[in-house]
Amino acid sequence: MNQETWDYILKIDQKAWNAGIDLDVAVNPPNLTNEKLLPFWQELDRLLDAGAKPTPEQIRQMVQKTLGDDFYDWEGVIP
């Protein structure tokens, strides 16, 4: 992952935290740094900018939508 992508992910993670959203509740953050999840971060950024506060379940659904069939092999999901 390049530095620009990493910095973007950290920025959105901080934006979520500032909005009261603890991504640790929904997902395992190290797995959220996978570049396949960049569309997830972009969607989360858009939602936060619109004032939305997605729940942990909504965040899991966003990750599932982004990963598709790979979601079930993804270790970051809390059952």
Note the pLDDT of residue 74: 59
**Whether the predicted model's global pTM rises above the 0.85 cut:** no
Whether the CB-CB separation of 13 and 42 falls below 8 Å is answered with: no
Question: Which residues neighbour 4 within 8 Å (Cβ) at sequence distance 6 or greater?
Answer: none
28-54 pLDDT, tens digit each:
554 666 778 889 999 999 999 999 999
Query: Angle CA(10)–CA(15)–CA(16) in degrees, nearest 5?
Result: 100
**5 HSE (CA, 13 A, CB side):** 12
